[in-house]
Amino acid sequence: EVLGRTSGVVEACERAAAQPLPRHSERAARALQEVLERHHVPPTPVRVDVARANGGLVVRAYSPRPLDHSIRSMASVRIAVPLREIDTHAAGIDVSFTSRDSG
């Protein structure tokens, strides 16, 4: 984030820190897509946003349709593995799912 002034620096840092992390988000989306393919969920592009919060990573995964508990559980683990590989110091990884059908 670029400021044209010296005031508001703290707020700008907070906004920048809350933005999705592109590299993390892309790796997480790839992991989710692989799980969906393995479970024969019809191919639809997925979106995953990963951001930092309180020293950890917050993952918001948007699936093409509601997923059952076993697929969400497997996807959570499959998403966490590459995130941990690229962000070894994150205090935790919190994954949640939202289907596009429900908003």
Structure tokens that stand for 44 in this block: 């639809």
pLDDT per residue of the chain (103 residues) written in tens, 0 to 9: 666 666 777 787 777 777 789 999 999 999 999 999 998 887 677 899 999 988 899 999 998 788 889 999 999 999 999 999 999 999 999 999 998 644 4
pLDDT at 2: 61
Contacts of 45 (CB under 8 A, 6+ apart): 33, 64
**Amino acid 102: pLDDT:** 43
- Give the 3-state DSSP-derived string for 45-95, with helices as H, strands as E and coil as C: CCEEEEEEECCEEEEEEEECCCCCHHHHHHHHHHHHHHHHHHCCCCCCEEE
- For residue 59, what pLDDT is reported? 97
Q: Give the pLDDT confidence score for residue 3 in this predicted structure.
A: 63
Q: What confidence score (pLDDT) does residue 44 get?
A: 74
